[in-house]
């Protein structure tokens, strides 16, 4: 029977690794130290250390005066503030109240300007001006309409009506009469007794042809001027 040449090598490898099969996982595992336990907030990101101000002498500007500041003393004004305020109140224009709107029964008031009810769009510079894309579209539509009308006129010119001359009218009338005579001759050659369906259909066909020819001859004789389409 067949015996693999790698059989001794496989047995040797199996004997070497046989000890590792007796335990769950590797034989030696590094155990963490009990002193390195998980502490509170140890996994939170740490902020960088706060940098000290290089120039501690410069202080930000304060909106209130300092405790060490003193007002300027000894300045007096001869202005009569009472009369000045009275004159300004008499001659000044009254302040217009801000327009508001109420949207509830309880009387809640809101500014009308920021509500969107004031038509501010009519004050725009381009208000009422036709947009450029609409103007361009209208021009394209007009150009297409002109091209279509030009093509229709050219087609009508090609298919314009043509008037028949007297010689053509006379020759046409003679040809129709000649055709009528030929059809009438065939009709006269029919048998007296029409006893089959083909004979009956042939007779009806000849009668229709004679009737149509008679109508055409009557129309051409009635009208002296005839126009035909120039195809």
Residues 156 and 211 grouped into a single domain: no
pLDDT of the residue at 82: 93
Note if the pTM is more than 0.75: no
Residues 220 and 169 grouped into a single domain: yes
Residues 224 and 168 grouped into a single domain: yes
pLDDT for residue 135 is more than 80? yes
Q: Is residue 1 part of a domain?
A: no
pLDDT for residue 17 is more than 80? no
Residues 201 and 152 grouped into a single domain: no
Full domain range(s) for residue 166? 162-228
Whole-number average pLDDT of the chain: 83
Find the radius of gyration of the CA atoms of the chain. 58
How much is the average pLDDT of 132-151? 92
Q: Is residue 173 part of a domain?
A: yes
Among 143, 160, 177, which residue terminates a domain?
A: 160
Torsion-angle region of 102 (φ positive above 0: left; ψ -120 to 50: alpha; else: beta): beta
Q: What percent of the chain has pLDDT above 90?
A: 21
Q: Is residue 9 part of a domain?
A: no
Q: Please calculate the CA angle 47-48-53 and round it to the nearest 5 degrees.
A: 125
Among 160, 186, 205, which residue terminates a domain?
A: 160
What are the percentages of helix, strand and coil residues in the chain, rounded to 5? Answer: 45, 5, 50
E strands present in the chain: 100-102, 109-111, 161-163, 227-229
Look at 32-41, 153-162, 169-178, 219-228 and tell me which has the smallest mean pLDDT: 153-162
Structural domains of the chain, count: 2
């Amino acid at each position: 029977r067949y015996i693999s040449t790698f059989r001794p090598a496989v047995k040797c490898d199996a004997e070497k690794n046989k000890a590792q099969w007796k335990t769950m996982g590797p034989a030696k595992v590094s155990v963490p130290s009990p002193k390195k336990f998980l502490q509170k907030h140890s996994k939170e990101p740490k902020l960088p250390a706060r940098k000290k101000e290089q120039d501690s002498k410069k202080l930000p500007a304060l909106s209130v005066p300092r405790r060490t500041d003193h007002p300027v003393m000894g300045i007096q004004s001869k202005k009569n503030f009472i009369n000045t305020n009275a004159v300004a109140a008499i001659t000044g224009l009254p302040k217009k109240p801000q327009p508001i709107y109420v949207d509830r029964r309880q009387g809640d008031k809101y500014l009308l300007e920021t509500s969107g009810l004031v038509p501010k769009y009519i004050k725009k510079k381009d208000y009422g001006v036709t947009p450029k894309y609409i103007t361009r579209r209208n021009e394209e539509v007009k150009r297409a309409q002109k091209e279509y009308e030009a093509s229709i006129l050219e087609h009508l010119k090609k298919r314009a009506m043509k008037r028949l001359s007297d010689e053509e009218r006379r020759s046409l009338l003679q040809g129709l009469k000649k055709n009528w005579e030929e059809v009438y001759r065939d009709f006269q050659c029919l048998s007296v007794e029409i006893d089959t369906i083909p004979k009956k259909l042939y007779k009806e066909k000849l009668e229709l042809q004679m009737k149509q020819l008679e109508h055409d001859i009557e129309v051409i004789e009635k009208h002296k001027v005839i126009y035909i389409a120039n195809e």
